[in-house]
Structure 1
Amino acid sequence: MFAKRLLQKAINNSQHNLPRGSLTAEDLDLRVAVHYGIPSTASILAFDPIQRLLAIGTVDGRIKVIGGDGIEGLFISPKQLPYKYIEFLQNQGYLVSILNDNDIQVWNLKSRSLVYCLEWETNITAFSVIHGSSLMYVGDEYALVAVVKYDAEDGKLLQLPYHISANSLNGNICRIVSSVC
């Protein structure tokens, strides 16, 4: 009933304010962009303790951001896929998410929009933002860890030339474990 009234109102307003024939199908996109409460398809959470924001990723490509003072925002990914990872760049106004198809997305919290998307070549199996920075570790199925940085000025994710392999860690881990035992 609500959607029908909304559509009728849009059509009536378009007839009075716009020239005939200027209303297109894209103007009447009926995809729901408002949601109250916790989504029923929630699958992953992230929390920014500085800004006191909670992000809730869903299995259908949406992210709900909830904060103090009644702040609520809904981000809708162009791809309707589940999220593997989701983390805030703490106190910087950005949220980084990784979809099941290994796309790394950067969301701007202020403009509530997707600002950058990077297609990762391998299957991402681990992800972590380095606290207080815009640097991230991205681990893949081949036991390689890459370092990625979000450059807010350029609005891009940059893959830095640093890589950590399992072989480089193996000797160090053995020395640490043997010294503890």
Structure 2
Amino acid sequence: MFAKRFLQKAIHHDQHNLPQHGSLTSADLDLQIAIHYGIPSTASILAFDHSQRLLAIATLDGRIKVIGGDNIEGLLISPNQLPYKYLEFLQNQGFLVSITNDNEIQVWNLESRSIASCLQWESNITAFSVISGSHFMYIGDEYGLVSVLKYDADEGKLIQLPYKISSNSLSELAGFPLPNHQPVVGVLPQPCSSGNRQDILKLSYL
């Protein structure tokens, strides 16, 4: 399981990166936290992978703590020390998706403990949801637009697909007016949907 390799890789990395006696350089003194035990003090948002039983805890300073069974604990550190506003696993895939306050979408590879792909979103992201059991995700923004993304694990890339839903198009279909550029605040698959294209989403606007 990738969860066990996650812990083994962290221990192996720390043991093999210790400097030999008498060979310290200035680079060796650039200390970084590789393993952290317990719950971070600035924890702000959670995500859970029920298949692998992994809990991810994002902080206000760009760290993500991952905790699981068999004493698994690992720390992911973003190059941007910013709070996260969304955090979700690609369930049972070995990837975690995070969105920072400056609207950067990051896909983390849990086995390598590194960012596999990232994408800077042009507008303010106000809603986010991963389609369960897939690499697809919905992005809702401040202008009332819902877009679809896919993470291609083979290529290691986030791909923006040409599918968009606007508040204006929904207003026309529903037959009642919606204010222009109304932010999307929720994007959820219908719980009883069997995947029909006609009944797949539930959108919430302010």
Q: Normalising by structure 2, what TM-score?
A: 0.73
Which whole-Å CA distance do the structure 1 matches of 2:88 and 2:100 have between them?
12
1:149 is matched with 150
> What amino acid sits opposite 1:45 in the alignment?
L
Task: Report the equivalent of 1:27.
Answer: 28
Q: Which has the higher contact order (CA 8 A, sep 6+)?
A: 2
Residues 103-131 of structure 1: CA deviation (Å, up to 9, x unaligned): 00010011111111111111111100001
- Greater CA drift, 107-116 or 151-160: 107-116
For 1:88 and 1:163, locate their aligned partners in 2 and report how far apart those are by CA, in whole Å.
23
- Secondary structure of 2:143's match? coil
Alpha-carbon distance between aligned partners in 1 of 2:103 and 2:174, rounded to the nearest angstrom: 28
Map Cα deviations across residues 3-52 of structure 1 (whole Å, 9 max, x no partner): xxxxxxx67x352xx5xxxx543332212222111111000000011111
Give distance in 2, aligned partners of 1:173 and 1:62: 42
DSSP 3-state at the match of 1:133? coil
Which residue does 2:117 correspond to in 1?
116
- Aligned residue for 2:47? 46
- In 2, distance between residues paired with 1:14 and 1:121? 49
1:107 pairs with 2:105: no
The CA distance in 1 between the partners of 2:59 and 2:96, in whole Å, is 15
1:57 match: 58
User: Contact 2:60–2:84 at 8 Å: present in 1 too?
Assistant: yes
What pairs up with 1:6-17 in 2 under 5 angstroms?
13-15=20-22
Q: What residue in structure 2 maps to residue 179 of structure 1?
A: none
The reply on whether 1:139 has 2:122 as its aligned counterpart is no
Instruction: Supply the RMSD in Å over aligned alpha carbons.
Output: 1.6
SS of 2:128's partner is: strand
Partner residue in 1 for 2:11: none
Alpha carbons of structure 1 residues 32 and 122: separation in structure 2 relative to 1, 3 Å: same
Q: Secondary structure at the match of 1:26?
A: helix
Question: 1:173/1:69 Cα in 2 relative to 1: closer, same or farther (>3 Å)?
Answer: farther
Bigger radius of gyration, 1 or 2? Answer: 1
**Match for 2:30: what amino acid?**
D
> Any residues of structure 2 matched to 1:76-115 within 5 Å, and which?
76-115=77-116
Structure 1: gaps of 5 or more residues: 1-9, 176-181
1:126 corresponds in structure 2 to 127
Instruction: Determine the C-alpha separation between the residues in 2 that align with 1:126 and 1:27.
Output: 41
Q: CA deviation at 1:136?
A: 0.4
- Choose between structure 1 and 2: higher helix proportion: 1
Aligned residues: percent identity? 71
Secondary structure, aligned partner of 2:150: strand
